[in-house]
């Protein structure tokens, strides 16, 4: 029950041969996967570049507001 018989191994090897088809197929498959990953990374970089080029950098210009006359009177500061 726990061990695999010869028929199990024949089925596993048969499925493996059907999927990978013999010599060179695994390397071709891995090459295709690598090309897909590279294309995905390039696409992500292009999206980031287009987004930052289209949208200018935002900045906050801080200018101190003049104190109201009532605040000066309450604090005791006179000018």
What is the per-residue pLDDT across 3-34, written as a single tens digit (0 to 9) for each?
Answer: 778 889 999 888 887 777 766 777 777 888 89
d(CA 69, CA 37): 65
| 39-59: average pLDDT | 73
**1 pLDDT band (50/70/90 cuts)?**
low
The pLDDT assigned to 19 comes to 75
pLDDT of 53 strictly over 60 = no
0.75 exceeded by the pTM?
Answer: no
C-alpha 55/C-alpha 41 separation (Å) is: 22
Q: Over 70: is that where the pLDDT of 35 sits?
A: yes
């Amino acid at each position: 029950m726990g061990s695999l018989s010869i028929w199990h191994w024949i089925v596993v090897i048969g499925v493996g041969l059907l999927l990978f088809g013999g010599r060179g197929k695994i390397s071709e498959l891995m090459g295709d996967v690598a090309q897909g990953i590279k294309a995905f990374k390039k696409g992500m970089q292009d999206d980031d570049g287009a987004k930052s080029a289209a949208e200018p950098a935002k900045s906050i210009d801080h200018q101190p507001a003049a104190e109201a006359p009532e605040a000066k009177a309450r604090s005791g500061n006179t000018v």
